[in-house]
Amino acid sequence: MIRNLRGSNPDLPDRCQVCVIGSGAGGAVVAAELAEAGFDVVVLEEGGYYPTSELSHDPLRMLPRLYRNAGGDSTLGRAPIMYTEGRCVGGSTVINAGVCYRTPSDVLHRWAMGLGTLDFMPENLAPIFEQVEKHLHVSPVPQELYSKDAKYMLEAAQGKNYHSVPVLRNIHACQGTNLCILGCPTGAKQSTLVTYLPRAQKAGARIFANCRVQKIELDGDRAAGVEYHELDPLTGQRGPLRFLQADWVFVAAGGTQSPSILFRSGIARKLRFVGKTLFLHPNTKCVGIFPDEVNAWQGSVQSFQIDEFAEEGLTLGATFLPPGILALALPFYGREVDRIMEQYNHLSVWGVLVEDSHPGRLRFSPKGLPMATYKLTRDDTERFKFGILKLAGLFFEAGAREVLLPIRGMEYARSRDDLRQLERYRLKAEQLSLFSVHLMGTCRMGLYPQTSVVDVHHRVHGLRNVFITDASVFPGPIRVNPMLTIMAMATRAAHNFVEYQRRFSQAA
């Protein structure tokens, strides 16, 4: 039973062996693996508990419940990038599209070289990937779930000889409800809410929702435990500060919250790289208006990806947004928004994701609230221009009569001539309307405390019993959706931890 706390609760824990902060892709995996190895695990999750039976199609109902700040965060800098993070039991796995790609081999080779460990070589991580994929039912999206606009995109890509691959997703009997971003209402998406967390609970882990960790209490080079507040699920008001004593602390609170917890705990004073290297895979979307109805809401949210330009760090794909979210994402005002929204069933949203070449950083308020700053480089801006041109070209190939571009000052492309004009145009970063869902690298893994935050075993430099197991430990961007990488790395960290403890207890 996951406890959704309401007010003061006598069941709240005050002692455990392992405290896991966060229940997303990193936290849930660690909780399940360690609970099954016999540890007494407590999971503290800031967000609420919303089982499948409470997930619905209504964005007004689901956005404030499942997303941090209702999905309205953005970076400062040129250009501002809107980003979203999950804040519920299951974390971002509840609200993502469920895309499961292994880390590309070239990225793993680079990490293995840089970190000086063979553990990250693709052949050594492959068994862990297989284990995670098996548990998540990772499989390609069946052809019958392709929405009509995805089929259009696939045909256009084939017409241009672009290489495309079916998207691998963690689905079990998916019906193509196309509401992944509001939580799967049929329970087909195998998020940690229906996979790892039940497994952890079965093995004895205790999971507490609505518990916000304030800081890790340090005692010399060890963590004594964590201080946390209970939150009122309705008002979000904080209850009194409580202390949970723990032998080991695993932080898996996500790309912005893990470094914030380190900052509030005073660890960032010693480790200067906390929050320093923020990679976020910025992406942008073009909207095509087709003469016939495409009804993009009937089918799978992402069916395939075009990886023709992977070497340039670009990935193209078809996606879907409900009307309310699409309207706020359009770069228009007033009647123009309504003119476009009236043709909702003729609209198709295709996106391009760029592997960022230069990091941003997180800054912290005195209370430890994170503020992301990010500046898009000239090179990345050019790659966005290239990606937008390719997307718009695909739209016209598929028969779209008009393409809405995410560029301020050049919002429409009604023919290929407009695209030729865009080719000659010197695009500035601040003209782009950007979005991100993959925040990573803010507590990067490395060999030295001067240049990183955690070592290759995910242990925070200088602390014996604090580990970080989420996307914030990535040494750099990975070009693909990070869920499977996070889970594989968390599994590896948990296995190493169990093995180390076993050997230690034998030696003692």
Partner 1 sequence: MHNLILKPFECRLIEALLPVILPTMPVHEHRFRRRVLYHIDRFLVKMPLFFRWLFHLGAWLFDVSPMLFLAHTHRFHRSSLHFRQYWTARAYRTSIMPLYRWFHIIRGLILLVYYSQDDQHRRLRYYPAEWVKFNVMNRRRKLKLVEEAPHDSQPSRFQPRSS
Which residues contact partner 1 by CB under 8 A?
51-60, 63, 72, 74, 76, 80, 110, 113-116, 173, 175-179, 185-188, 272-273, 276-277, 297-298, 322-328, 333, 337, 341-342, 344-345, 358-359, 446-448, 450-452, 475-476
Residue 440 beta carbon to partner 1: minimum distance, rounded to whole angstroms: 14
**DSSP readout, 33-48?**
HHHHTT--EEEE-SSB
- Look up tokens 């030696």; give the residue: 507
Residue 26 beta carbon to partner 1: minimum distance, rounded to whole angstroms: 22
On whether the CB atoms of residues 380 and 78 are closer than 8 A, the answer is no
SS3 letters for 307-321? Answer: CCCHHHCEEEEEECC
- Look up tokens 């200088």; give the residue: 462
Which of 438, 457, 458, 461 is the catalytic position? 438
Question: Which one, 268 or 389, has the nearer CB to partner 1?
Answer: 268
Residue 337 beta carbon to partner 1: minimum distance, rounded to whole angstroms: 7
On whether the CB atoms of residues 356 and 284 are closer than 8 A, the answer is no
Pairing of strands 164-166, 304-306: antiparallel
Q: Say whether 457 is catalytic.
A: no
Q: What element of type H or E holds 295?
A: none
Burial per residue of 347-380, b for 16 or more beta-carbon CB atoms within 10 angstroms, e otherwise:
bbbbbbbbbbeebbbbebeeebebebebebeeeb
Contacts of 493 by beta carbon, 8 Å cutoff, 6+ apart: 30, 457, 458, 467, 469
Strand partners, 62: none
Residue 324 beta carbon to partner 1: minimum distance, rounded to whole angstroms: 4
Residue 50 beta carbon to partner 1: minimum distance, rounded to whole angstroms: 11
Question: Which one, 122 or 322, has the nearer CB to partner 1?
Answer: 322
Which among 365, 409, 508, 494 has a CA at the least distance from the CA of 41?
494
Which among 467, 472, 491, 494 has a CA at the least distance from the CA of 482?
472
Residue 42 beta carbon to partner 1: minimum distance, rounded to whole angstroms: 26
Measured distance CA(504)–CA(508) in Å, rounded: 6
SS3 letters for 221-286? Answer: CEEEEEEEEEECCCCCCEEEEEEEEEEEEEECCCCCHHHHHHHHCCHHHCCCCCCCCEECCCEEEE
The 3-state DSSP class for residue 113 equals helix
SS3 letters for 420-473? Answer: HHHHHCCCCHHHECEEECCCECCCCECCCCCCCCECCCCEECCCCCEEECCHHH
Residue 429 beta carbon to partner 1: minimum distance, rounded to whole angstroms: 16
- Look up tokens 């392992």; give the residue: 18
Residue 102 beta carbon to partner 1: minimum distance, rounded to whole angstroms: 22
On whether the CB atoms of residues 370 and 295 are closer than 8 A, the answer is no
Residue 377 beta carbon to partner 1: minimum distance, rounded to whole angstroms: 12
Pairing of strands 81-83, 138-140: unpaired
Q: How far is C-alpha 437 from the geometric centre of its chain's CA atoms?
A: 5
On whether the CB atoms of residues 291 and 401 are closer than 8 A, the answer is yes
Q: Is 441 exposed, middle or buried (0-12, 13-18, 19+ CB in 10 A)?
A: buried
Residue 113 beta carbon to partner 1: minimum distance, rounded to whole angstroms: 6
Which among 8, 457, 482, 487 has a CA at the least distance from the CA of 229?
8
Measured distance CA(265)–CA(373) in Å, rounded: 22
Catalytic residues: 438
